[in-house]
Amino acid sequence: MTTENPQPAAPTEEHSTRGAYVTGASFDRDMNYIDDRITREGGGGWPVEAGRYRLIAARACPWAHRTLISRRLLGLEEALSVGMPGPTHDQRSWTFDLDEGGVDPVLGHERLQEAYFARFPDYPRGITVPAVVDVPTKAVVTNDFQQITLDFATQWTAHHREGAPDLYPAAQRAEIDALNRWMLHRVNNGVYKVGFAGSQEVYEKEFTALWEALDELEERLGRSRYLMGPRITEADVRLFPTLIRFDPVYHGHFKANRQTLASMPNLWNYTRDLFTTPGFGDTVDFAQIKRHYYYVHEDLNPTQVVPLGPDPTPLLEAHDRDRFRTETWGPDGTAPQAPLAAEVVDPAHTPLHVSGR
């Protein structure tokens, strides 16, 4: 992938947003990641092996959120444990402040930074989530968020649950890849380009580009249940974390405020559809999401006051997506079981979800 910012980034933000907020400048995301892969063959020294690795994924971060969704949909909970840092962090690293004693119970780390330094003592880039850590060495394997979920879908198949969906079907991979590249730059990262624009001119340019992209998605979702047709794919896994954060965060905090997502019929009903689909809504923690953005981004919100709204309960209202042909899980697929007890989102942080389907 083309590097957007070749200079080393300070270890801040979920993907080093601080430091890119420069007066007059466009937001450039550092796209240099540890590109090691965990594969069936283990050619790079990292074979797929149940119990060997730990996914570190903060619920607050949209890039990490997609790995939590993929892990749930594919049923990898028993094969791949998860550690969840809290929603805030300092200049050094994400911390395991939600765990007893502030220490990850498997890795023994207080900070994710320790896993990076265990492998690269002088690691110069951002300490980002998601990251996959090798439990025996307690060292990071990869933080390549673009590749991690693709490997979950294609390399971890021996550990998929019975009835797991094919999130990356071979016949659609080229189209999924093209759509995902477009969404990354225009939507997933597009909201950051708007929010961290360093001048009025840059802001207006990125604002226009973002809403043109959202209008295209609104039109696309007027033709099919999901982005690629009647079944959920990797493309939906990547879009949902951005959409679910749009009205609570990006609309106001990032000034992406032409209109709310709730005012766009297809995008809003699509979001409600996925929110009430097992594996999507049951990974959403609105309290952590808002705490992260409004507290950590002091340059955008110096008071660190976290808003109480919007009310998330309309996400549970009926949607209209059943008007389209639907094979949500594929011809022989089934919905995932309920989340592991230790991974259930605090009910006070999000509305109760509709389960099953």
pLDDT digits (tens, 9 = 90+) for 300-351: 999 999 999 999 999 999 999 999 999 999 999 999 999 999 999 999 999 8
Return the CATH number of the domain spanning residue range 170-349.
Answer: 1.20.1050.10
Q: Give the annotated binding-site residues.
A: 94
> Is 192 a residue whose pLDDT tops 70?
yes
- For the sheet containing 81-83, what is the strand order? 81-83, 53-56, 131-134, 139-142
Q: Phi/psi of residue 82, each to 5°?
A: -130, 140
Give residue 15's pLDDT.
42
pLDDT band at 176 (very low <50, low <70, confident <90, very high): very high
Categorize the per-residue pLDDT at 6 as very low, low, confident or very high, splitting at 50, 70 and 90. Answer: very low
pLDDT at 125: 92
At 191, the amino acid letter reads V
**Cβ–Cβ < 8 Å for 132, 82:** no
Point out the catalytic residue in the list 33, 116, 168, 192: 192
157 to 134, 188, 203: CA distances (angstroms) = 19, 27, 43
- Binning pLDDT at 50, 70 and 90, where does residue 12 land? very low
**How many of the other CB atoms lie within 10 Å of CB of 173?**
14
The catalytic position among 53, 61, 116, 294 is 61
Q: Could you report the per-residue pLDDT of 233-253, keeping only the tens digit for each?
A: 999 999 999 999 999 999 999
> CA 54, CA 189: separation in Å to the nearest integer?
26
The residues with which 134 forms a beta bridge, in sequence order, are 53, 139
Q: Which residues are annotated as a binding site for glutathione?
A: 94
Q: Tokens 């990898």 belong to which residue?
A: 76
- Token look-up 């083309």 returns 2
Tokens 């840059």 appear where?
202
Distance (Å, whole) CA 93 – CA 101: 17
pLDDT at 20 over 70: no
53 noted as active-site residue: no
Active site residue 250: no
Q: Which segments of the chain does DSSP mark as H helices, in order?
A: 62-74, 113-119, 145-154, 173-183, 190-195, 200-220, 234-244, 265-275, 286-296
Split at pLDDT 50, 70, 90, the class of 13 is: very low
Which of 57, 82, 76, 69 has the alpha carbon at shortest distance from 278? 69
CA pseudo-torsion sign 296, 93, 14, 292: negative
Structure tokens at 189: 């990262």
CA–CA dist 297, 259 (Å, integer)? 22
Q: What is the pLDDT of residue 353?
A: 58
**Distance between CA atoms of 55 and 130, rounded to whole angstroms?**
7
- Using DSSP, state whether 139 is helix, strand or coil: strand
Give the range among 60-64, 110-114, 350-354 with minimum mean pLDDT.
350-354
In the predicted model, is pLDDT for residue 262 greater than 60? yes
- For the chain, the straight-line distance linking the first and the last C-alpha, in angstroms and rounded, comes to 37
Q: Give the contacts of 169 (CB within 8 A, at least 6 positions apart).
A: 231, 233
**Which of 28 and 286 is assigned the larger pLDDT?**
286
pTM of the model: 0.93
Q: How many CB atoms lie within 10 A of CB 340?
A: 12
The 10s digit of each residue's pLDDT in 141-158 is 999 999 999 999 999 999
Segment 136-145 shows an average pLDDT of 98
Segment 118-142 shows an average pLDDT of 97
The mean pLDDT value of the chain amounts to 92
What pLDDT score does 238 carry?
98
